[in-house]
């Protein structure tokens, strides 16, 4: 039984499913990969995030990422690649949560006592930033999050995204510009 878990046929089956998905775009194929690897992804998420509900959400987010990521990346060992993708997703979530905590801790004490109808300016800035990130094209958002939130180098971003360094720099530069435009518009509307 133990050796059966590590047999080559399972890995080959995964790679065949990956090839099939890349050829057809059939989401049922992603569903089969999800069924096979949900437990592994969930346990990785649980190890990093420590909370069951957050880990369940993260597991679903990882499989949503597969829809795009498998079309962009050549995968030779699906299970190992999925493990890395999951770990990076969890680290990104942790980094994002830490930044939120830092922003809330940095608020002056008197802002914590404002009436509930008012929101502190820093919180509004943070919300504008979060909304701006959501509105960026996927490549720009990914590169911005990896570079600024996870503090990855250009080379690390290249490896994660499969883009070359010129593309990574372009996505970061354009993402910053688009984020700034979005935030300026958001603040002008208040």
* Residue ranges of domains in the chain: 14-101, 136-189
pLDDT score recorded for residue 10: 53
Q: Is 175 exposed, middle or buried (0-12, 13-18, 19+ CB in 10 A)?
A: buried
pLDDT at position 117 is 37
Residue 59: closest CA among 42, 44, 82: 42
Q: What pTM value is reported for the model?
A: 0.50
What pLDDT digit, counting tens, does each position of 91-127 carry?
888 877 765 555 455 434 333 333 333 344 455 566 6
DSSP label at residue 109: G
Q: What is the pLDDT of residue 111?
A: 34
Alpha-carbon distance of 43 to 22, in angstroms, equals: 27
Instruction: Quickly name the fold that domain 14-101 has.
Output: Rna Polymerase Sigma Factor; Chain: A (1.10.1740)
pLDDT at position 167 is: 92
Contact indicator for 143, 175 with CB cutoff of 8 Å = yes
**Contacts of residue 91, Cβ cutoff 8 Å, sequence gap at least 6:** 48, 150
Residue numbers in the chain where pLDDT is lower than 50? 1-9, 103, 106-121, 190
């Amino acid at each position: 039984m133990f050796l059966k878990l590590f047999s080559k046929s399972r890995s080959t089956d995964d790679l065949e499913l990956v090839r099939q998905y890349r050829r057809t775009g059939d989401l049922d194929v992603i569903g089969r990969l999800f069924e096979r690897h949900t437990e592994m992804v969930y346990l990785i998420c649980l190890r990093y995030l420590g909370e069951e509900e957050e880990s369940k959400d993260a597991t679903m987010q990882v499989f949503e990422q597969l829809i795009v990521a498998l079309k962009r990346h050549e995968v030779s060992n699906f299970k190992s690649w999925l493990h890395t993708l999951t770990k990076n997703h969890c680290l990104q979530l942790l980094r994002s949560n830490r930044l939120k905590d830092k922003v809330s801790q940095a608020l002056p004490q008197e802002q914590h006592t404002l009436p509930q109808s008012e929101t502190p300016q820093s919180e509004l800035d943070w919300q504008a930033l979060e909304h701006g990130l959501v509105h960026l094209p996927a490549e720009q958002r990914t590169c911005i999050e990896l570079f600024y939130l996870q503090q990855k180098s250009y080379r690390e971003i290249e490896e994660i995204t499969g883009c070359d360094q010129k593309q990574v720099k372009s996505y970061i530069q354009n993402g910053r510009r688009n984020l700034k435009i979005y935030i300026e518009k958001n603040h002008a509307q208040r």
